[in-house]
Amino acid sequence: MIFDMVTVGMVMTNCYLIADEANNVGIVVDPGAEPDRIMEMVNKAGVKIKYIVLTHGHYDHCGAMEEIKKRTGCNTVIVHREDEAVLEDPESNSSPWIAGRRLSYKADKLVEDGDIIKVGDIDITVKHTPGHTVGGISLIFDNKCVCGDALFAGSVGRTDLKTGSMDDLHYSLDKVFKKLPDEMEVWPGHGPSSTIGREKKVNPYMK
């Protein structure tokens, strides 16, 4: 398996590549900005991109998705069904504040909690982790959790944006993140990686 990351754009979004090199297939998660640098990562892996997966619909996670679709030939963007509207609505996707323009994006395939995204021999389990947005997801595979802006090393995502909810975030923390194994790696949408065990010790929201 190839697991790679590049940090892109003004708000330093972590864009991930998850690939099964034996089967020549991969996915790009959260292509927020800087398509050239994302394509460098994709080309280094040398795999065909099957899906673009968004952990949630905010502009800093999807800003380069049209360009990456064009350049890779991938025509399937996946988002949780409850974030489809977040992606489409400029007031919800934060584009006016981050890009200075009202932008709207369309998903091609909707997923929900418990769905499996197949990438060659890699099975990626979708967990619904709302709070930062109503349809935020985390991707679980191979002792890793790619969690978008729900959980950060030492902190959590803000809940004051449109569709955000502290109650929802507590559901995600209590029913999802705290139940993952301590040794599982946490790969957030911004900032450094961590582990579930470490977050249980140091993150006030995980206590």
List interacting residues with Zn ion (CB under 5 A).
Answer: 58, 60, 149, 189
> In angstroms, what is the minimal distance from the CB of 161 to Zn ion?
7
Report the residue number, 45 or 138, with the smaller CB distance to Zn ion: 138
> In angstroms, what is the minimal distance from the CB of 57 to Zn ion?
8
Report the residue number, 49 or 134, with the smaller CB distance to Zn ion: 134
Report the residue number, 25 or 62, with the smaller CB distance to Zn ion: 62
Angstrom CA distances, 151 to 17, 58, 78, 92, 99, stand at 19, 15, 20, 20, 24
Is the Cα torsion angle 148, 151, 156, 159 positive or negative in sign?
A: positive
Closest residue to Zn ion using C-beta atoms:
58
* CB hemisphere CA count around 182 (13 angstroms): 5
> In angstroms, what is the minimal distance from the CB of 22 to Zn ion?
32
Residue for token pair 């064009």: 70
> In angstroms, what is the minimal distance from the CB of 13 to Zn ion?
5
| Identity of the amino acid at 76 | T
